[in-house]
Amino acid sequence: MEKNSKKVPDNTITRDTKNLAAPTGNIYESVVILYKRANQISLAEKKEILRKLDEVRNERDTMEEVFENKDQIDISKYFEKQPKPDLVAISEFENGELFYRKAGEEDA
């Protein structure tokens, strides 16, 4: 499993809403951008964890074996330790790593 190369805090920290609103000029637009990016990250993580769990699942798994499968437990623990999607989205937004545009804007 690859390590997360970004330095993202693993807990919630207080942020100044003025700083979050600065790039868009509107806190609500910033929140929508953060929501959409966090959702993208969450869906990508879900696909990845399901793919990894499918790799270690046996066709003959019984209920007891599923609960005791060490590989599945390790994969789940790895993903639980990853920063939450909303924290990753906020970090990307603050570092200027997100591309966004308003609906109806022309590409420049």
61-79 pLDDT, tens digit per residue, is: 555 555 567 788 888 888 8
Give the domain extent around 65.
19-94
Please answer whether residues 34 and 26 qualify as being in contact, where contact means their C-beta atoms are separated by less than 8 angstroms. no
User: With the CA atoms of 33, 6, 87 and 45 taken in that order, what torsion angle do they form, in degrees rounded to the nearest 10?
Assistant: 80
Report pLDDT for 57.
74
Candidates 100, 89, 96, 97; CA nearest to 9 is 89
Q: What is the pTM of this model?
A: 0.74
Query: How much of the chain, in percent, has pLDDT values that exceed 70?
Result: 79
Report pLDDT for 69.
74
Report pLDDT for 37.
95
Q: Tokens 């420049």 correspond to what residue? A: 108
Report pLDDT for 40.
96
Distance of CA 46 to the CA centre of its chain: 9
Asked if residue 77 belongs to a domain, the reply is yes
Report pLDDT for 65.
56
**For residues 20 and 30, what is the distance between their CA atoms, to the nearest angstrom?**
6
Asked if residue 27 belongs to a domain, the reply is yes
Average pLDDT over residues 31-55: 92
> Residue 101 above 60 pLDDT?
yes
As for how many domains the chain has, the answer is 1
Asked if residue 70 belongs to a domain, the reply is yes
**For residues 72 and 52, what is the distance between their CA atoms, to the nearest angstrom?**
8
